[in-house]
A and B are shown apart, each in its own frame.
Chain A
């Protein structure tokens, strides 16, 4: 059961951050000679106000839930996985490459485990490497995951351009089977939007991650390692193994996120589809306080912002959203320690 103090510590920073971001947003909107009220209304109407906009938000939130969960697993183990972008790309790439070998007519439900495994293994491998480098050599995972991002993306770009691409494009052939239905197959109002049933996979992943972290022995060891590695080691946890396992799970989660684009949306792998989703995953994990429920909500928030940027482009440049996202991250990151200090001080003075 969450105590009131814990709840305040968890909820206040994101609220403060949103207020700060809105103020910065106001300033930028005024800079372009528009009225903040009108722009924010347009942003909401263009996202949650109609089924197409909502569908786009749900599609973007699906990918962000996966990368957010990926980063959160790392954070809970005390590791910073900055590599979610390349893990996501590797997952999508491997799913597409496997899919290219599968003939037409095989039922999607039968193939899903195959695609799932391909994406998870590829993403997991890209994640496990920096985990192992840290466990074995003490190489700092922040730097190795950043550097590995560039290496893996360059490698994928090379493979695409030299082997797999359809001439004059940056993408592979379309997959013959295994594509997953979009939401408009069940709810016609979503027509044209990219939202698809991978959304359900994302929700299932959030539930599973919550169960794993808080209800299993391995999850307990992972969190113990994150809180105090030396104490965990003393308590019998093999910290090095937890590190690379956590990074492998983290990478696998990001990798599975690639299915959202490859199976649910386009039906092929395209260079650059993962751009930005890794960094936003960090924002999502942070704002969602590395808790599955928080992550799903934060993914919706950031998806709303990025889709909302397109909706208000007529009034203010859509690039404004990039600024707001950055401001949210800075505000949350700075207000977490600050709010904690303030609350502690406040309580102490109340107790006295």
Chain B
């Protein structure tokens, strides 16, 4: 029973990571840095809350969540692709904008500086371990499918081949007639939708939107993307690993054995170690972060 509860909690924590990291793989494989996952998630969480509150239908909330992520992805694309601005700078600004805009709209729509009213989510009947409730949430299943979907696109479709070509060698892709700009836009838009769904899961699961509710999950997803070396299978494992570490920390909290701050560090330390190449170097897509010619 204990083991099932542990597993349930790990999966519950992992779902938003799986969504956002799927977006992370998508954007980084096309050569555009996934710094903005945090902003997409926040936009997605806010969109889901607004959509679900306005219609009372969580499915519409879900769609609005995807749209919320997409809006910030398009903005990032506008700066990084259309205007060829520095990805890091625009990316950071998009995150700041997501925080600011959701705050302003929270005040405008619900006259609150901290949280939205109660958001209708998917109806679930709870059981002992919570596993049954988890399994009834359609977003959970979508979360499990997000990275396999990205893997299928990347390795089994013409679009995926183009995405990988543009991410590794844009000049060669251009000379082969690949519409580089359109491929970049497509990948960035998909990334926004995927991470937006991760944010939507948070808002619908917690039944409200709260200021900065994503709480750095977008950066943990980015860490998982890098620690998983941009390979969907490994990235999924990285998400589960980070989620399991958090679950362990929650369980140990009562015992008071291990300070929570050290568990918080795990994804980030592992990412730095992976980049430094102590155990098998993480090599990013060759054109990552570079502006197209």
Q: What is the 8 Å Cβ interface bit string for chain A, positions 229-258, against chain B (1 contact, 0 not)?
A: 000000000000000000000000000000
Q: Which residues of A contact B83 (CB under 8 A)?
A: 333-335, 337-338
CB closest chain-B residue, reference A327: B97
Indicate whether A325 sits within 8 Å of B96 (C-beta atoms), given known contacts A155-B265, A158-B262, A317-B107. Answer: yes
Instruction: State A138–B286 Cα separation when bound (angstroms).
Output: 13
Asked if A31 is at the interface of the complex by the 8 Å CB criterion, the answer is: yes
Summarize A's interface: helix, strand, loop or mixed: helix
Q: Does residue B284 face the partner (Cβ distance < 8 Å to A)?
A: yes
Complex interface: stretch among A62-70, A91-99, A119-127, A139-147? A139-147
Q: Mark B211-250, 1 if CB is under 8 A from A, else 0.
A: 0000010010011001000000000000000000000000
User: With contacts A31-B108, A333-B93, A334-B79 known, is A326 near B100, CB below 8 A?
Assistant: yes
Q: How many residues of B contact A (CB 8 A)?
A: 46
A280: nearest chain-B partner, CB-CB = B96
* Contact B103–A142 (Cβ < 8 Å): no
| A151 contacts chain B at the CB level, 8 A cutoff | yes
In the complex, which of the residues B97, B103, B272 contacts A330, with contact meaning CB atoms closer than 8 Å?
Answer: B97
| Known A-B contacts A326-B96, A326-B97; A337 and B85 likewise in contact (beta carbons under 8 Å) | yes
Q: Does B275 contact A (CB under 8 A)?
A: yes
Q: How far is the CA of A322 from the CA of B113 in the complex (A)?
A: 13
The reply to whether B88 and A82 form a contact with Cβ atoms under 8 Å apart is yes
Bound Cα distance from A51 to B94, whole angstroms: 34
Chain A positions 130-176 with a Cβ under 8 Å from a chain B Cβ: 133, 136-140, 142-144, 146-148, 150-151, 154-155, 157-158, 161-162
Could you tell me if A150 and B265 are in contact, using CB atoms closer than 8 angstroms? yes
A279 to chain B: closest CB distance in Å?
6
The answer to whether B90 and A330 touch across the interface, beta carbons within 8 angstroms, is yes
B226 & A330 in contact (Cβ 8 Å cutoff): no
**Residue interface bits B84-113, CB-to-A below 8 A is 1, else 0:** 111011101110110111011001100001
Q: Is the interface of B mostly helix, strand, loop or mixed?
A: helix
A142: nearest residue on chain B (CB-CB)? Answer: B88
Asked if B271 is at the interface of the complex by the 8 Å CB criterion, the answer is: yes
Residues of B244-279 contacting chain A, CB below 8 A: 259, 261-262, 264-265, 268-269, 271-272, 275-277
Assess the B269–A325 pair: CB atoms within 8 A: no
Which residue, A161, A329, A337, has most C-beta atoms of chain B within 10 A?
A329
A334 touches B261 (CB 8 A): no
B275 touching A139, Cβ below 8 Å: yes
Q: Is B183 an interface residue, CB under 8 A from the partner?
A: no
A351 to chain B, nearest CB (A): 24
The CA of A84 and the CA of B94, in the complex, are separated in Å by 19
Quick check: is A28 within 8 A (CB to CB) of the other chain? yes
CB nearest neighbor in B for A321 = B100
- With both beta carbons as reference points, the residue of chain A lying nearest to B98 in the complex is identified as A326
A154 CB contact (under 8 Å) in B219, B222, B261: B261
Select from chain B the residue with minimum beta-carbon distance to A338.
B83
The answer to whether A330 and B94 touch across the interface, beta carbons within 8 angstroms, is yes
- Set of chain A residues within 8 Å of B265, measured between Cβ atoms: 150-151, 154-155
Residues in A whose Cβ lies below 8 Å from that of B35: 142, 146
In-complex Cβ contact of B90 among A31, A144, A321, A334 (8 A): A334
Is the CB–CB distance between A144 and B275 below 8 Å?
yes
Quick check: A319 and B103 within 8 Å, CB to CB? yes
- Which B residues lie within 8 Å of A148 (CB)? 268, 272
- For A320, give the chain B residue with the smallest CB separation: B104
Contact of A140 among B259, B275, B291 (CB under 8 A): B275
- Tally A-B pairs: CB < 8 A: 136
* CB contact under 8 A between A317 and B97, given known A82-B92, A139-B275, A150-B216: no
Q: For A82, what are the chain B residues with a Cβ–Cβ distance below 8 Å?
A: 88, 92
> Are the C-beta atoms of B262 and A146 separated by less than 8 Å?
no
B33 within 8 A of A: yes
Name the residue on B nearest A282 (C-beta).
Answer: B92
Q: Chain A contacts of B104 at CB under 8 A?
A: 28, 317, 319-320, 322-323
- Return the chain B residue nearest A158 by Cβ: B261
Indicate if the CB atoms of A329 and B92 lie closer than 8 Å.
yes
A143-B226, A317-B113 known; A133+B262 contact, CB < 8 A:
no
Choice from A146, A154, A325 contacting B264 with Cβ under 8 Å: A154
Give the Cβ gap from B220 to chain A, nearest Cβ, in Å: 9
Max chain A CB contacts within 10 Å: which of B100, B107, B108, B271?
A: B100
- Once bound together, how far apart are the Cα atoms of A338 and B86, in whole Å? 12
CB distance from B158 to the nearest CB of A (A): 30
Given known A-B contacts A150-B268, A319-B113, A323-B104, A333 and B219 have beta carbons under 8 A apart? no
9 A-B contacts (beta carbon < 8 Å): A139-B276, A142-B33, A155-B265, A157-B261, A317-B107, A322-B96, A326-B96, A330-B90, A333-B85
Residues of B within 8 A of A (CB): 33, 35, 75, 78-79, 83-86, 88-90, 92-94, 96-97, 99-101, 103-104, 107-108, 113, 216, 219, 222-223, 226, 259, 261-262, 264-265, 268-269, 271-272, 275-277, 281, 284, 289, 291
Further pairs besides A157-B261, A333-B90: 19, Cβ < 8 Å = A133-B272, A133-B275, A133-B276, A137-B275, A139-B272, A139-B275, A140-B275, A140-B284, A140-B289, A144-B272, A144-B275, A158-B259, A279-B92, A320-B100, A326-B93, A329-B90, A330-B75, A330-B90, A337-B85
Across the A-B interface, the 4 shortest Cβ-Cβ residue pairs:
A322-B100, A326-B97, A319-B103, A329-B93
